[in-house]
Structure 1
Amino acid sequence: MDISKAFAHHKLLLGLIVIALLTACQDEQTIAPAAQIYQSVSASELIAAPSYPYAQEFSGTIRAGNTTGVGFELAGKINELTVDSGDSVVKGQRLAQLDTRLLLAEKNELFANLQQNKADLDLAIATLNRSLELNKQGYVSAQQLDELKGQLNSLQAAKSRLSASIEVNQLKIDKSELLAPFTGTISKRIHNLGEVISLGSPVFTLIERSNVQAYIGVPVDVSHTLTTGQTVKLRVRNQFYQASIAGIGAELDPITRTVELRVTLPSDANVINGELSYLYYQHTINTPGYWVPVSALTDGVRGLWNIYVLVPSNDRYRVEHRDVEIIYTSQDNAFINGAVSANELYVNQGLHKLVAGQIVTRQASTVAR
């Protein structure tokens, strides 16, 4: 009896185990395997370019057409100053005046001498005329007539000398008034009222308003591509101007090893004498390559850079890294060449999320510059 019960219990346990195993197998068959997820990347197509525009900036200095130290041609004491630093003046305007009292006194003395000479000259002429009449009657010798003629000639020479001295005196008086040689702005006053100045000492620095020019040094090879009269782009501070090349230097600066350009700015250019100016120069370099955004590049080895290229793999793409060289950069773009071909797809952003050999899908299609 006990053996029959034990056998029945064992048979029941085996049946339960078999049912449990069958149930587990059915549960495994009902669970579907999860689908594999591939990363999606943004990609663009490599467009071949036969050349690229190369831009450079060369610096220089703004100079007015004329920057002149204006002063008297005579030494003397400054009696009047009619303008000061920052004042605008026009051509012919009086800027300063010297003390002319000594010159006026000298002028009065010269006129008095001239009047005395005139009186002596009138007397000499009258005396000579009477002597000529007496000579006809034999009362005056030839020696006396020669002496009277010599005296008359001497007085006439003295008159000419006094007239010339009066003209010189008047010229000194005129030059005691300092006039603006051209229209411009007084940038600096050097001497003060009442100061005694030496001959030729400048009183003001005058800067011409018009004909503002920039003097810019460029390499020899760049100067050979430019011509007089050519329009160029010039930058002063953050303002761009269409300027004209007025002249190209004929010699090389021994220090900077550059050729100096003289560039004329527009008459309404808002610039100050001495400011820095920059010549924008662009030319084409005939080197083939591809434009890509800088975000599509990552550091490589031995001075090279890497770009991630998408190689078709079934319905997806495999990521490959290629070595490239950066030839030129412009703002956020780079002109490259290397182990890439035209029309290949490359990853243009998000490189930090990728590794070589990874299988990805393409998110979007944009064309590189």
Structure 2
Amino acid sequence: MQKKITLVLPLCIFLLTACSDDAEQGPTGPRPVLITMTEVVSGTTEELEVTVGRIESKAEPLVAAEIDGRITHIDAEIGDVVVAGDRLAQIDPEDYRLSHQSAQADVDRLTAMIKQQQRLVNRYLQLREDEFFAENTLDAASSELDVLKKQKSSAISRLNQAKRNLSRANVTAPLTGEISDRLVNLGDYVKRGNPLFRISTDEYLRIVLPYPEKPADRLKTGLTVRLESATAMGTRVERKVTEIRPTIGDFSHAVDIIIDMPNPGNWRAGGTINGELVMNVIENAVLIPETSVVLRPAGHVVYVLNETLDSVEERPVETGVLTRELLEIRSGLQAGEKVAVDGAGFLTSGAVVSVQQR
């Protein structure tokens, strides 16, 4: 009796193990790869060249002395905001005041002499009508009057020049801005043309954007540029290229494009600026997410889903312009097809997939 029980027990264990293996095997075939998908779209995209440039003040005059003399007053310091016409410094005006007084005295003296000579000429004219006066005496008096008038005209010119020199003793701001540099000290003797102050204004700006040599032949005035200053992030301004510098920088090996513009807000000269240059606008471009494109040894490929959305086909493509969100596909895809996005890097041609909602 004990021998029969011993034989039955191993048989039961074998049958239970076989049933367990069949239950774990389940359906046959490869496990599907989880992916997300998107539909290929057609739209307009732009070929952009992105760079970081600088902001310059378009108007940054160097204020120089217009007369010779010693600096007696300084009224502006670096960082001061000045209005056009404000006095920045004064050059000793005493010599120019004396010259002005002398020139004024000459004009007054000649004016009196002309009045006296005119009365003499008028008297001679009256005597000539009465035939009691020699003609040559009248001619001499008239000539003397003409000489005096010309001398007065010259004296008036000297007076005006003296007046201008006296006014130039006050060095004034030519425009509204900020003193960026002071190049003179109290007591310095300056000559005409010596620089005294530098004024910077942010009212009108010059944007300088460097671009590499490669697209240099395609650069031209009138292209659209989108600008964003680091001092006003989130505010984008669209302008046109004003100028292209004809030479390539010695150190940067870049081509500079110039945009002249009024200050749109809180932009400051000397700051940096982000620039997007629109090189080309592409109509009816085929567009997909950049993550849908996988680099294989044979080149760039995408994985296109079949109609039942349960398997993919590997398809080589030619890529084009990359924007912030989408990549242009120049060949290999058509609008309306569905391609894998997330998980595309794990696929091969013919792979079984399971599409998940993004």
Is 1:300 the counterpart of 2:302? The answer is no
CA distance in 1, matches of 2:260, 2:123: 77
CA positional deviation for 1:173: 0.3
CA positional deviation for 1:172: 0.9
Taking a change above 3 Å as real, the CA distance of residues 18 and 132 of structure 1, as seen in their structure-2 partners, is closer
CA distance in 2, matches of 1:284, 1:272: 31
Match of 2:282 in 1: 285
Q: 2:67 aligns with which of 64, 74, 82?
A: 74
Match of 1:44 in 2: 36
The letter for the 1-side match of 2:161 is: V
Taking a change above 3 Å as real, the CA distance of residues 160 and 292 of structure 1, as seen in their structure-2 partners, is closer
Kindly provide the CA deviation profile for residues 115-167 of structure 1, in whole angstroms up to 9, marking residues without a partner as x: 766787788789999999999xxxx9988887777666655554444443233
TM superposition score normalised by structure 1: 0.69
Counting only pairs closer than 5 Å after superposition, residues 127-276 of structure 1 correspond to structure 2 as: 157-216=150-209, 221=218, 223=220, 226=223, 233-237=226-230, 238-245=233-240, 248-249=242-243, 253-255=246-248, 260-267=257-264, 269-276=265-272
Q: 1:362 aligns with which of 333, 354, 358?
A: 354
CA distance in 2, matches of 1:58, 1:271: 18
8 Å contact 1:244–1:265 — kept in the other structure?
no
Taking a change above 3 Å as real, the CA distance of residues 336 and 39 of structure 1, as seen in their structure-2 partners, is farther
Kindly provide the CA deviation profile for residues 19-63 of structure 1, in whole angstroms up to 9, marking residues without a partner as x: 578656654665460234754533234523345523522554423
User: Which structure 2 residue ranges, 5 or more long, are not aligned?
Assistant: none
The letter for the 2-side match of 1:279 is: G
Match of 1:4 in 2: none
CA positional deviation for 1:68: 1.0
Taking a change above 3 Å as real, the CA distance of residues 264 and 18 of structure 1, as seen in their structure-2 partners, is same
8 Å contact 1:243–1:265 — kept in the other structure?
no
Structure of greater Rg: 1
CA RMSD of aligned residues (A): 4.7
Kindly provide the CA deviation profile for residues 201-255 of structure 1, in whole angstroms up to 9, marking residues without a partner as x: 22111223423342457856464764xxx8x53112245332444x734x76243
Taking a change above 3 Å as real, the CA distance of residues 30 and 79 of structure 1, as seen in their structure-2 partners, is closer
Tell me the SS of whatever aligns to 2:25: coil
8 Å contact 1:51–1:284 — kept in the other structure?
no
Aligned length: 342
The letter for the 2-side match of 1:240 is: T
CA distance in 2, matches of 1:59, 1:161: 59
Is 1:35 the counterpart of 2:32? The answer is no
The letter for the 2-side match of 1:42 is: L
CA distance in 2, matches of 1:131, 1:350: 116
8 Å contact 2:34–2:354 — kept in the other structure?
yes
8 Å contact 2:55–2:205 — kept in the other structure?
yes
CA distance in 2, matches of 1:284, 1:134: 93
User: Which structure 1 residue ranges, 5 or more long, are not aligned?
Assistant: 1-11
CA distance in 2, matches of 1:115, 1:215: 57
CA distance in 2, matches of 1:216, 1:152: 68
8 Å contact 1:236–1:276 — kept in the other structure?
yes
8 Å contact 1:223–1:259 — kept in the other structure?
no
The letter for the 1-side match of 2:296 is: G
CA distance in 2, matches of 1:312, 1:159: 103
8 Å contact 1:128–1:149 — kept in the other structure?
yes
Tell me the SS of whatever aligns to 2:356: strand
Taking a change above 3 Å as real, the CA distance of residues 178 and 40 of structure 1, as seen in their structure-2 partners, is same
Taking a change above 3 Å as real, the CA distance of residues 104 and 131 of structure 1, as seen in their structure-2 partners, is same
CA positional deviation for 1:97: 1.5
Tell me the SS of whatever aligns to 1:348: coil
Is 1:348 the counterpart of 2:338? The answer is no
CA distance in 1, matches of 2:190, 2:25: 98
CA positional deviation for 1:308: 4.8
Between stretches 114-123 and 28-37, larger displacement belongs to 114-123
CA positional deviation for 1:83: 0.9
The letter for the 1-side match of 2:36 is: S
Between stretches 140-149 and 29-38, larger displacement belongs to 140-149
Taking a change above 3 Å as real, the CA distance of residues 318 and 193 of structure 1, as seen in their structure-2 partners, is same
Tell me the SS of whatever aligns to 2:192: coil
Kindly provide the CA deviation profile for residues 158-191 of structure 1, in whole angstroms up to 9, marking residues without a partner as x: 4444443233212210122222222222211122
Tell me the SS of whatever aligns to 1:253: strand
CA positional deviation for 1:87: 1.1
CA positional deviation for 1:284: 3.4
CA distance in 1, matches of 2:150, 2:15: 147
